[in-house]
């Protein structure tokens, strides 16, 4: 029989971690509960984070950055006017997570610490230069998300450490912020491939800056700097994007699984760039 604790403060949480060092942390539980069902029966302690108000806040900071508590669920992200106005790329990505019921449970901290290659929020967080605040009972540190995730379902999180919040730097003036996802169905789909895009255009439509990040086509999120450079200084024509798409297909490293073949994922990764013609 599991022992379940529901602390209401971070201090209480760390006290429980000290007395139950092998405890599992649960925010929304959409990843953890599935994992536990597919392993030998877990009879240890579970520490639920949902009642810790500090982890459930979205706040603008004095320097213009925005702090998102690790326990903030995706439905709260999609409905946040602050995030919609400052970081529409993230709210678009959040709106594709599961279905409405899952979005009310799944959290951005859980999505980050699970580090699935198919996690919908990660490509957006990579492009937005998100930093994660990691806390222990003794102190805290801040790391960039691309350093935090070191492989598929592998992070640099240490025993006794939690993600307390995700910090987004002050919003930049991007002309286009877009998230695209392809799955085996239109809803409740795990990504076969996804693409987050940030573009800054001049008045005449010339690309001044470009950032592309793909999900579900490699062990972690993949940036293709060559594809980004290929569109800078040019208009978003079909010819320009097809050249960038070919570079992207060479950069990704997908696998075969039950959802799609590696070759299909490679093709889709490039084709997602062509959707920018509709921007």
Do residue 14 and residue 134 come from a single domain? yes
Query: Which of helix, strand or coil describes residue 134?
Result: strand
Domain that holds residue 200: 176-278
Residue 102 shares a structural domain with residue 193: no
Look-up of token digits 């097809």: 242
Are 22 and 124 members of one domain?
Answer: yes
Could you list the pLDDT tens digit for every one of the 279 residues in the chain? 578 889 999 999 999 999 988 888 888 766 666 666 666 666 678 899 999 999 999 999 999 999 999 999 999 999 999 999 999 999 999 999 988 999 999 999 999 999 999 999 999 999 999 999 999 999 999 999 999 999 999 999 999 999 999 999 999 999 999 999 998 766 667 899 999 999 999 999 999 999 999 999 999 999 999 999 999 999 999 999 999 999 999 999 999 888 899 999 999 999 999 999 987
Whether residue 83 is found in the same domain as residue 190:
no
Residue 138, pLDDT score: 94
Q: Are residues 123 and 40 in the same domain?
A: yes
**Claim to verify: residue 54 and residue 118 sit in the same structural domain:** yes
At a CB cut-off of 8 Å and minimum separation 6, what does 206 contact?
233, 234, 235
H-type alpha helices, the chain: 10-19, 32-37, 74-79, 81-86, 88-94, 100-103, 108-114, 122-127, 145-148, 225-231, 238-251, 262-274
The pTM for the full model equals 0.93
- pLDDT at 277 (0 to 100): 92
155 and 224 part of one domain: no
How distant, in Å, are the alpha carbons of 30, 32, 33 from that of 27? 8, 9, 10
Rounded-to-integer distance, Cα 251 and Cα 229, Å: 13
Q: What are phi and psi of 135, to 5 degrees?
A: -125, 145
CATH code for the domain in which residue 19 is found = 3.30.465.10
What local confidence, expressed as pLDDT, does residue 34 receive? 60
168 DSSP β-pair partners: 66
CA distance 64 to 180: 27
Same domain, 189 and 103: no
| Pair of tokens at residue 160 | 């006794």
Domain boundary residue, one of 168, 197, 213: 168
Q: Domain end: 146, 168, 190, which one?
A: 168
Question: What is the per-residue pLDDT for 39?
Answer: 64
d(CA 178, CA 119): 16
Q: List phi, psi (to 5°) of 224.
A: -120, 95
Domain edge (last residue) among 143, 168, 193:
168
The answer on 211 and 155 residing in a single domain is no
CA-to-CA distance for 41 and 16, rounded, in angstroms? Answer: 22
Residues 95 and 150 in one domain: yes
- Tell me: do 274 and 212 sit in the same domain: yes
Task: Assign residue 193 the CATH number of its domain.
Answer: 3.30.390.50
pLDDT of residue 259: 85
Number of domains in the chain: 2
The answer to whether residues 220 and 96 belong to one domain is no
């Amino acid at each position: 029989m599991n022992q379940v604790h529901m602390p209401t403060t971070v201090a209480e949480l760390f006290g429980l971690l000290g007395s139950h060092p092998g405890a599992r942390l649960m925010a929304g539980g959409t990843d953890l509960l599935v994992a536990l069902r597919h392993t030998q029966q877990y009879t240890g302690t579970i520490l639920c984070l949902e009642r810790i108000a500090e982890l459930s806040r979205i706040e603008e900071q004095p320097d213009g950055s925005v702090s998102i508590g690790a326990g903030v669920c995706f439905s709260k992200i999609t409905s946040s006017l602050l995030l919609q106005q400052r970081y529409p790329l993230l709210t678009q990505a959040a709106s594709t997570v599961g279905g409405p019921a899952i979005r009310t449970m799944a959290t951005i901290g859980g999505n980050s610490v699970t580090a699935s290659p198919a996690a919908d929020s990660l490509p957006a967080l990579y492009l937005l230069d998100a930093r994660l605040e990691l806390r222990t009972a003794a102190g805290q540190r801040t790391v960039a998300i691309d350093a935090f995730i070191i492989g598929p379902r592998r992070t640099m999180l240490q025993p006794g450490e939690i993600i307390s919040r995700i910090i987004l730097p002050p919003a930049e003036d991007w002309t286009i912020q877009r998230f695209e996802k392809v799955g085996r169905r239109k809803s409740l789909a795990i990504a076969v491939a996804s693409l987050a895009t940030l573009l800054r255009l001049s008045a005449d439509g010339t690309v001044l800056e470009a950032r592309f990040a793909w999900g579900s086509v490699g062990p972690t999120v993949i940036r293709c700097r060559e594809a980004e450079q290929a569109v800078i200084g040019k208009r978003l024509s079909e010819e320009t994007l097809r050249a960038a798409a070919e570079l992207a297909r060479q950069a990704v490293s997908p696998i075969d699984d039950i959802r799609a073949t590696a070759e299909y994922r490679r093709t889709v990764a490039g084709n997602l760039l062509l959707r920018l013609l509709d921007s």
